[in-house]
Every structure is written in structure tokens, then in C-alpha cells.
Amino acid sequence: MQRCVNCRTSFTWKQINKSLWLAYKPVACLNCGMLHKVQFLSRILASMMMVGPLFILNFLSPFAGAWNFIISVLLVMPTVILLLPYIMRYRLA
């Protein structure tokens, strides 16, 4: 998990996940209050991790069927959502 550059306090999973769902809103350190913005490459990675599996599953779904596609999406998307806060990187605002 990412840490504050100033005081080395770890961000919480909830802070980072909230930042992701609110259009990459800056995260404030709970200890010192410094604001951290999402790095540009992390935004690209997050977009690719959210949309990429859907494109791949959609491409493979004609061969597997609609129910397999739906079940795959229901398994892949929660996994991606749970992993993204550990992958995202922030810098000082």
C-alpha cells in the first residue's frame, strides 16, 4: 500500500478506493494532511485493468456463451476492484 511521502503513514484501502471511484480525487494523509494525486501511469493502468478484461471476455464470449460471460465478469471485476488500491501510486499534489 502507498505511503505518505512526508510522514511515511500508509494510506488506508478505503481512502484509495474512494479516490478511485470519485474520479481520482486526491488523497489526504491522515497524519500530516498532505495531499497526494494519482500518478498518470496509475490512471492508465486502472483503466486498462477495469476495461481490458471486459474486452477480452467479450471477444471470447461468442465461443463460450452469454452465461459464461456474465459469470466471468462477476468474478473478474470484484477481483480487479479489490486489487487496484494496492497497485495505485500517488505523488505530492
How do residues 45-81 score in pLDDT, each as one tens digit? 998 988 888 888 777 767 777 777 788 788 888 998 8
Dist. CA 86–CA 12, nearest whole Å: 10
Q: How many independent structural domains does the chain possess?
A: 1
In a domain, 37, yes or no: yes
In a domain, 25, yes or no: yes
| Amino acid letter for position 41 | L
In the chain, helix, strand, coil percent, each to 5? 60, 10, 30
Dist. CA 92–CA 14, nearest whole Å: 19
- Chain segment 11-37, per-residue pLDDT in tens: 999 999 999 889 899 999 999 999 999
Q: Which residue has the higher pLDDT, 86 or 72?
A: 86
- 4: which 3 cell numbers? 505518505
Predicted TM-score of the model (pTM): 0.76
Res 89: pLDDT: 93
Enclosing domain of residue 77: 13-92
